[in-house]
Amino acid sequence: MLGQGTFAKVYHARNTKTQESVAIKVIDKEKVMKVGLMDQIKREISVMKLVRHPNIVQLYEVMATKTKIYFVLEHVRGGELFNKVQRGRLKEDAARKYFQQLICAVDFCHSRGVYHRDLKPENLLLDENSNLKVSDFGLSALAECKRQDGLLHTTCGTPAYVAPEVINRKGYDGAKADIWSCGVILFVLLAGYLPFHDKNLMDMYKKIGKAEFKCPSWFSTDVRKLLLKILDPNPSTRISMEKIMENPWFRKGLDAKLLRYNLQTKDTPRVDMNADFDSMSTSPSTETKQQEERKPTNMNAFDIISLSTGLDLSGMFEESDKRRESKFTSTNTSSTIISKIEDIAKNLRLKLTKKDGGLLKMEGSKPGRKGVMGIDAEIFEVSPNFHLVEIKKSNGDTLEYQKVLNQEMRPALKDIVWAWQGEQPKQQQQPSC
């Protein structure tokens, strides 16, 4: 065994005919199904089939049984780049070589519509020739994951490496977010420590939001200039991959073969996420799929931090209209919460539509002062018996919405509410998160 996580174990294996060494990631299918992560596994397979590059860990084959899924992967023997940094900062030439390989690999991913979203030294491996290999596409996204606004909205990654717009929870460009993470990695390679670090997580987020960092004295002028362009808190003015690859500091000693590989015009076939998985007879039953679609969105650490009372991060980035949204927590099941909201919508004569991921959309029957009133209620699962519900105006007049919320909805919801945002919870059993 090479390592293990919550849902998988990784083993060293050898092809008995060719003697080639590989790594096999064995995933427990039942555990993955239970927490609703099957789509994430499908996406990881599709992504790794798309991104075949010298500086990306290769997926050779996927197999499955009734209980297990097997990823046969390239065996990278040199360990994590993180281990090398732990021993001390790197010299500029060595850091530049790894950064060149990282940028070329990530640029290749972006050209295939893939965004990694968790770039950090722990996910960068080294082979026996000390060449960098990007790994762990478990949090990656495909271009198809973008919403109608053309942005990604899942807040994920490792706090010290994520871009400010990701923390902001307003949507972000996956490519620009990856570029920020690459900049943090470059800083770490050259400095031996993080550019944004604080024992207090909220203070660290504030530093990230304002891009408050200081380059040590041994950084060259060219590196400082490049880092300032990469670690720009405004994604619209942040340097692009193309401009990074044209930068004189970046191009010094660059292996021309890497650039040629990225400039290949041969199209990579698009991969059908569901078809790949269904062909292995591993797709869940129709009933299970329906249950997964109805299941509320799982909250990760970023969501809990940013939605908790007193920890709303949006104020660090832009002014928001607090009158448009309210949040409450509940110790009831998601089905109970949905049933209660359905009853309220019926009593208020609001048309209710259910969407995937625990989103309920309510709409009035008559136009108000500013059009037909629309209200969204989104349910987030913290644990099976503890949920956070966000209610916000999606359309119409704010005063009309506030009247319906405070005079009609809040009193009707009192039986299922544990606490409204900014208020003390009811004296009852503490929820288990």
Residue 277 is predicted with a pLDDT of: 55
**Pair 57, 133: CB distance under 8 Å:** yes
For residue 198, the domain's CATH number is: 1.10.510.10
Residue 119 lies in a domain: yes
40 against 59, higher pLDDT = 59
Residue 273 lies in a domain: no
Question: Across 43-131, where does the E strand assignment appear?
Answer: 59-64, 68-74, 114-115, 124-126
Token code pair at residue 206: 């504030």
State whether 52 and 107 are in the same domain: no
- 337 beta partners: none
Residue 191 lies in a domain: yes
How far apart are the C-alpha atoms of 253 and 250, rounded to whole Å?
8
Mean of the per-residue pLDDT values for the chain?
A: 84
Which of 118, 173, 232, 303 is flagged as catalytic? 118
State whether 189 and 311 are in the same domain: no
The domain boundary, picked from 262, 279, 311, lies at 262
Residue 109 is predicted with a pLDDT of: 94
State whether 238 and 304 are in the same domain: no
Residue 13 is predicted with a pLDDT of: 96
For residue 53, the domain's CATH number is: 3.30.200.20
Residue 318 is predicted with a pLDDT of: 44
Is residue 427's pLDDT more than 80? no
118 tagged catalytic: yes
Is residue 103's pLDDT more than 70? yes
216 against 387, higher pLDDT = 216
Binding residues, by number, are 25
How far apart are the C-alpha atoms of 80 and 87, rounded to whole Å?
12
How far apart are the C-alpha atoms of 282 and 286, rounded to whole Å?
12
Residue 210 is predicted with a pLDDT of: 93
Please tell me what DSSP assigns to residue 143: G
Binned at pLDDT 50, 70 and 90, residue 384 comes out as: low
Residue 295 is predicted with a pLDDT of: 58
- Residues 389-425: tens digit of each pLDDT: 989 998 888 888 999 999 999 999 998 988 887 666 6
- Residues 333-372: tens digit of each pLDDT: 888 899 999 999 999 999 999 877 678 999 988 887 788 8
Lowest model confidence (mean pLDDT) among 77-91, 122-136, 285-299, 369-383: 285-299
How far apart are the C-alpha atoms of 375 and 146, rounded to whole Å?
23
Which are the contacts of 199, defined by CB distance < 8 A and separation ≥ 6? none
Residue 428 lies in a domain: no
β 297-298/371-383 pair status: parallel
Residue 314 is predicted with a pLDDT of: 47
State whether 211 and 305 are in the same domain: no
Number of domains in the chain: 3
Is residue 136's pLDDT more than 60? yes
State whether 128 and 228 are in the same domain: yes
The domain boundary, picked from 75, 102, 118, lies at 75
How far apart are the C-alpha atoms of 216 and 337, rounded to whole Å?
53
Residue 270 is predicted with a pLDDT of: 54
State whether 323 and 416 are in the same domain: yes
Q: How far is CA 129 from CA 81, 132, 166, 265, 410, in A?
A: 13, 9, 35, 28, 63
Residue 424 is predicted with a pLDDT of: 62
**Pair 33, 88: CB distance under 8 Å:** no
303 against 13, higher pLDDT = 13
- Of 60, 68, 69, 95, which is closest to residue 81 (Cα–Cα)? 95
Residue 283 lies in a domain: no
How far apart are the C-alpha atoms of 364 and 301, rounded to whole Å?
35
**Pair 25, 8: CB distance under 8 Å:** yes
The domain boundary, picked from 262, 280, 314, lies at 262
Is residue 218's pLDDT more than 80? yes
- Residues 150-172: tens digit of each pLDDT: 888 888 888 899 999 998 878 99
- Residues 249-282: tens digit of each pLDDT: 999 999 888 877 777 644 555 555 555 455 554 4
**Pair 60, 23: CB distance under 8 Å:** no
State whether 59 and 192 are in the same domain: no
Is residue 216's pLDDT more than 90? yes
Cβ-in-10-Å burial (0-12, 13-18, 19+) of 297 comes to: middle
State whether 12 and 139 are in the same domain: no
Binned at pLDDT 50, 70 and 90, residue 287 comes out as: very low
Residue 276 lies in a domain: no
| Across 18-40, average pLDDT | 88
To the nearest whole percent, how much of the chain has pLDDT over 90?
49
**Cα end-to-end distance, the chain, whole Å:** 31
pTM of model > 0.75:
no
Binned at pLDDT 50, 70 and 90, residue 111 comes out as: very high
| Across 20-46, average pLDDT | 88
H or E element: which one contains 353?
A: strand 351-355
State whether 184 and 240 are in the same domain: yes
Residue 150 is predicted with a pLDDT of: 85
For residue 385, the domain's CATH number is: 3.30.310.80
How far apart are the C-alpha atoms of 71 and 75, rounded to whole Å?
12
Is residue 108's pLDDT more than 80? yes
**Pair 354, 379: CB distance under 8 Å:** no
State whether 207 and 86 are in the same domain: yes
State whether 54 and 90 are in the same domain: no
State whether 71 and 86 are in the same domain: no
| Across 64-73, average pLDDT | 92
How far apart are the C-alpha atoms of 169 and 155, rounded to whole Å?
6
Residue 334 is predicted with a pLDDT of: 84
Residue 232 lies in a domain: yes
Print the domain residue range for 398.
Answer: 297-420
Is residue 211's pLDDT more than 90? yes
Residue 430 lies in a domain: no
Is residue 292's pLDDT more than 50? no
Binding residues for ATP, by number, are 25
